[in-house]
Structure 1
C-alpha cells in the first residue's frame, strides 16, 4: 500500500475493529502488531446485541454464525445451588439480535480479519517504539525498520499501553483483590444456553457454552490460591469449589479433567483521563478496562471503533484541524458512555464477588423489579445507556417500595408486558 492515512497499533479485537471501521471509510489503514501470532487467551468471547448490530454492518456477524458461534439467550445470576436470582432475558430486547453470541477469541479475530476492507494491511512482528511528534501533535510512529507518518495514530496496544504513556495520557488502574482462574471444559452435554454467574461464599463462578460441546468456566480465586498446587492439591481445591457451588455438579467431570489447562487472569478496571491527543486516539483496553463479570470489555472496544469512524466520516477530511476536532467529539461521547458502563460493570462485579450486604440486596431487588431489570439489561446489551436515579437505587435494595416495579419501560415491546420476574 502507499503511505497509510491511519496507523493502528495492536491487532486484538480493538485494533482490528478500528481498522475495519476506518477502512470502510475508504482510508488506507496499516495495522502493526508486535506478536507474530495471536496468543491463546481465555477472554473476549461474548458479544452483546449492540456489538452484533455493528458487526453485522461490517459483515462479521455472518462469518461468526458460519463458524458455529453459540447464541446465549439469557444472563442469569444464580444462587450456589443453581436457582436463578436475577434473569436478564435478552429475547425481550427491541434489538435485531436479541441474544449474546459466544465464540473463541481467536475465531472473533479471524472473522474481523476476514472482513477487513481492501485498503487495510496487517503487519505482524513489528515493534512500535515511539510516536512521531510535530510540536504537540502525533504525526506517525517509529518502528524498528523506520518511521511511518500518518494523519492519525490509533493505540490499541492493551491495558499497559506504551503508546498511551509516551503521548502523556494516563489511565489509573485499580486492581481487584482477586483473580479469575479460567478453564475450558470439553465434552459437555446439556448445558443451558445462558451466561450464568453463581453467587457463592467463595466468590464468583461463571460459565457459558462455546461451540463444539465446550464450556468456559471462570472461578474467582485469591492471587496465590493455586500457586504451587500439585495434582492432589488441585483435586482437593476442585472438590471445595464443587462443594461450595452445587449448581456446578453437571460440570464436575469436565472441570476436573481441565484443571491442568487453567489460566489465571488478573482483574482490574481503568479509565483514561482523556482518550485523545492531537492526532492520536485510544481504543479498547488502552483507554479503559472493566471487570469481565458483565461482558463489557470487548463490546466497549467495538463501540469505540464505530464511534471513532462515525466522527471522522462526519469530518470528511484528514486535515489536522478537522481530525483533532473529530477526536475531541469522540472523547466526549465515549468517555460519558464508558464512565456509566464502568460503574455498571463494577457494581455488577461487587454484587457477585463480595459478601457486601448492599450488593446482595441489589441483586435480589433487581431480580424482582421488572422495570429496573429491563433498564439494566438495555445498558448491558450496548443498546444505549439507561440511567438509574438515586430513588431507583433505593428501590434496587428494597429500602423503598417501587409502585412501578411490575411496569415495564416504554421501550419494551408490548408482547413482553406479561413477563414475570423469574
Structure 2
C-alpha cells in the first residue's frame, strides 16, 4: 500500500445533495472532510426537486437551510392525484397532515438552485475542503479500515488517505464498485422532463400525479412561476417511440396546463433520466459507507430521493455518536437504521408505479381500490402521506395500507362487475389468490433486500 500524499479524516466522493448533507452532519466530530466533486452541469440534469418535511427539518438541523437562499422555494402541502383523463375536478387531495415535523413545510425548488444553495452553505464550514473537477479513480482496500483513494484532478493523480470513505456519487456509483460492494439494478422507465414558464397548475401548492393515461405524468412548481412536467415511459412500453408516447399522454393532463405543456414540447429538448431500482447488497464495507442513491434507489414517483439522501447524513452522524470508539459497530447500526427506511421506500415506490403504469387484472383491481380508498376513508390521506413522506417507515404500516387497498379494490370490483354472480365469485376467488401471492412476493422481496 502506497503512502498517501494527503490525509483527511473523511473523504466524500460526490458533492451533490447526499454528500453535502453528510459533510455538514460530521462537523461535530472535529473531522477534516474532503469533498471530491467531478463537476456537474446541474442545469442539464433531471433530478429530485421536491423535499418532504422530514428532509426540510434535516436541512435546518444540519445548518444548511438559509431562508434567504431558499426564498424562491415553493411550499408543498401534499400530492394531488388525477385519476381521470384530462379531468381536474375529480382530483384527490392527499395532504401531509399533522406529525412531528409538520412545522417544516415540504418544498419544491429547481435542482440546480437547490444544490448551489447547499454547496454555498457547506463551503462556509471550516472543516470542509472541496476538490473541484476531480474524480475518484481507484480505491485500495488492502487494509479495509484504512483505505487509500487515488484521485485524479487536472490531469494529475494523488493518493489520499482517510479514516472514512463516503460514496455519495449516485445510483450509478463508481465508488461503490471500486470498494467492492455488489448491487443489482432493475431498469424501470425513461423519464423526460420539460420546464413550463408561467405554468397554470390545477392544484397550486401540490405535487401533481396524473394517472389517467397509459402511464404517469408528474408535475410540480419549482419557483419563479415555472413548473416541471415529467413523462414516464415504462420499460414495458419501449416499443413505442418516446415522442409518440409523450403525445399520447397529453390528453391525460388537465387544461390549461395541457396546452402549455404541448407548447413546451414543441420548442424544448427534454431532459432525460433513466429510472431504475438499485439495491446495494450492503451499506458499508470496511471503512467505506454508502449514502443517498449510492446506497440504493427507486422510481421517483414518491419523491423520496433527496429526503433520504439528506437524512442519511443524520443517520451516519447518529451512528457515530452511538459508537464513538468503534467504526465497525457504528456502520452496523447505520446499516440497520437505513435498511428500514430503504425497504419501505422501495416497496411503496415499486407498487405504486406498477399500479399506475400496468394493466394486469390484479393491478387494475388495486388501482381501483387505491382510488376508492383515498376517496372514501377519511384517514387514508394522512396514513398514505406519512408513508410516502417517510415519517412512517415501518414496513408493517405499508403492508396494512396495501391490504386495505386490496379490500377496497375487491369491493369495487364486486359492485361494478356485471357478469353473473357465480362467475363473479370465481373471478373474485382467482383475484384474491393472485393478489395474496403478489403481496407475499413484495413483502418477501422487501425483507430480503438490504
TM-score bracket relative to the smaller structure: 0.7 to 0.9
- Post-superposition offset of 1:269: 0.8
Which residue of 394, 402, 405 corresponds with 1:393? 402
Give per-residue Cα distances to partners, 1:341-368, cap 9 Å, x unaligned: 1111112222222233133134214303
Kept after mapping to 2: 8 A contact 1:138/1:153: no
Kept after mapping to 1: 8 A contact 2:32/2:127: yes
Cα distance, 1:174–1:32 mapped onto 2, change above 3 Å: same
Give the aligned partner of residue 361 of structure 1.
368
2: distance between equivalents of 1:391 and 1:205?
A: 27
Stretches of structure 2 that go unaligned for 5 or more consecutive residues are 1-5, 412-450
Which residue of 200, 203, 218 corresponds with 2:215? 203
Cα distance, 1:29–1:37 mapped onto 2, change above 3 Å: farther
> Does 2:13 align with 1:6?
no
Kept after mapping to 1: 8 A contact 2:176/2:294: yes
Kept after mapping to 1: 8 A contact 2:369/2:409: no
- Post-superposition offset of 1:37: 5.4
- Post-superposition offset of 1:62: 3.2
Aligned Cα root-mean-square deviation (Å): 2.6
Kept after mapping to 1: 8 A contact 2:77/2:205: yes
Please state whether the residue corresponding to 2:26 is helix, strand or coil. Answer: helix
Kindly tell me the number of residue pairs found equivalent between the two proteins.
388
Cα distance, 1:360–1:396 mapped onto 2, change above 3 Å: same
> Does 2:333 align with 1:329?
yes
Per residue, is there more helix in 1 or in 2?
2
> Does 2:21 align with 1:17?
yes
**What aligned pairs does 1:12-161 form with structure 2 within 5 A after superposition?**
12-35=16-39, 38=42, 40-63=44-67, 66-79=70-83, 80=85, 81-84=87-90, 86-97=92-103, 99-116=105-122, 117-144=125-152, 145-161=157-173
1: distance between equivalents of 2:16 and 2:409?
A: 44
> Does 2:307 align with 1:296?
no
Kept after mapping to 2: 8 A contact 1:296/1:345: no
TM-score, structure 1 as length reference: 0.84
Cα distance, 1:121–1:258 mapped onto 2, change above 3 Å: farther
Give the aligned partner of residue 198 of structure 2.
187
Give the aligned partner of residue 311 of structure 1.
319
2: distance between equivalents of 1:325 and 1:39?
A: 40
Give per-residue Cα distances to partners, 1:123-172, cap 9 Å, x unaligned: 11112111122334352311232110000000011222122112221121
Please state whether the residue corresponding to 1:247 is helix, strand or coil. Answer: coil
Cα distance, 1:119–1:255 mapped onto 2, change above 3 Å: farther
187-196 or 274-283: bigger deviation: 187-196
Kept after mapping to 2: 8 A contact 1:13/1:109: yes
- Post-superposition offset of 1:77: 1.4
Kept after mapping to 2: 8 A contact 1:202/1:220: no
Kept after mapping to 2: 8 A contact 1:102/1:209: yes
TM-score, structure 2 as length reference: 0.79
Cα distance, 1:99–1:279 mapped onto 2, change above 3 Å: same
2: distance between equivalents of 1:104 and 1:45?
A: 6
2: distance between equivalents of 1:158 and 1:392?
A: 30
Please state whether the residue corresponding to 2:103 is helix, strand or coil. Answer: coil
Structure 1 ranges of 4+ moved more than 6 A? none
Give the aligned partner of residue 257 of structure 1.
264
Kept after mapping to 1: 8 A contact 2:144/2:287: no
Cα distance, 1:165–1:303 mapped onto 2, change above 3 Å: same
Kept after mapping to 1: 8 A contact 2:182/2:281: yes
Cα distance, 1:273–1:189 mapped onto 2, change above 3 Å: same
Cα distance, 1:93–1:82 mapped onto 2, change above 3 Å: farther
Please state whether the residue corresponding to 1:370 is helix, strand or coil. Answer: coil
2: distance between equivalents of 1:262 and 1:193?
A: 24
Please state whether the residue corresponding to 1:75 is helix, strand or coil. Answer: strand
Stretches of structure 1 that go unaligned for 5 or more consecutive residues are 228-233, 402-422
Give per-residue Cα distances to partners, 1:297-339, cap 9 Å, x unaligned: 121111111101111133335xxxx112101110111012211
Cα distance, 1:384–1:65 mapped onto 2, change above 3 Å: farther
Cα distance, 1:248–1:276 mapped onto 2, change above 3 Å: farther
- Post-superposition offset of 1:392: 4.5
Kept after mapping to 1: 8 A contact 2:146/2:161: no
- Post-superposition offset of 1:399: 5.7
Give the aligned partner of residue 419 of structure 2.
none
Give the aligned partner of residue 227 of structure 2.
215
